[in-house]
């Protein structure tokens, strides 16, 4: 199952680092790392197997239709501690083989820094923004 998940993530997975406006935080924005795999409704069981394998995360219905007119589901893990303790060690053990490997390495650095609360200080915050800007599929909503 492990190597299959690694291959499936190389195909359908995404390590995103979003920066979202949030006026309650020190820098007026919030950094938001997320591991996501999206599938159409026909393959929901594959997402359920993955969720069960990792023992964390959630599956969220995305009500947009894709080209095949079916609902989309997103398996996503957002908790820093679950990313740090479950998702990252997994992809260290079963490495990605596509360009997503680079995204993963950047993602890993950001999650590690956040677990050390480095994003609460200006130096760490700027470093994380720099790392996020290098990922292939970052989403900036600011």
Residue 24 in tokens: 């309650």
Pairing assessment for the beta strands 13-21 and 140-141 based on DSSP bridges: parallel
| Binding flag, residue 45, a copy of itself (CB under 8 A) | yes
Q: Which of 1, 20, 120, 140 binds a copy of itself (CB under 8 A)?
A: 1
For residue 134, which phi and psi values (nearest 5 degrees)? -90, -10
Among 20, 21, 28, 42, binds a copy of itself (CB under 8 A): 42
- Residue 105 φ/ψ region, left for φ over 0, alpha for ψ in the -120 to 50 degree band, beta for the rest: alpha
Name the one range near a copy of itself by CB under 8 A: 21-29, 83-91, 98-106, 122-130. 98-106
Binds a copy of itself (CB under 8 A): choice among 3, 60, 120, 140: 3
- Count of C-beta atoms within a 10 Å radius of residue 46: 17
Which residue ranges make up the site for a copy of itself (CB under 8 A)? 1-13, 39-40, 42-43, 45-46, 49, 68, 94, 97-100, 136
């Amino acid at each position: 199952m492990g190597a299959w998940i690694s291959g499936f993530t190389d195909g359908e997975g995404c390590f995103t680092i979003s920066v979202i406006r949030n006026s309650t935080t020190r820098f007026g924005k919030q950094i938001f790392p997320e591991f996501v795999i999206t599938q159409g409704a026909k393959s929901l069981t594959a997402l359920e197997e993955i969720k069960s394998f990792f023992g964390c995360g959630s599956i969220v219905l995305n009500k947009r239709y894709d080209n095949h007119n079916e609902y989309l589901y997103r398996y996503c893990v957002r908790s820093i501690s679950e990313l740090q303790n479950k998702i990252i060690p997994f992809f260290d053990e079963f490495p990605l083989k596509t360009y997503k490997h680079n995204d993963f390495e950047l993602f890993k650095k950001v999650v590690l820094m956040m677990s050390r609360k480095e994003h609460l200080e200006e130096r760490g915050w700027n470093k994380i923004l720099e790392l996020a800007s290098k990922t292939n599929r970052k989403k900036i909503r600011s």
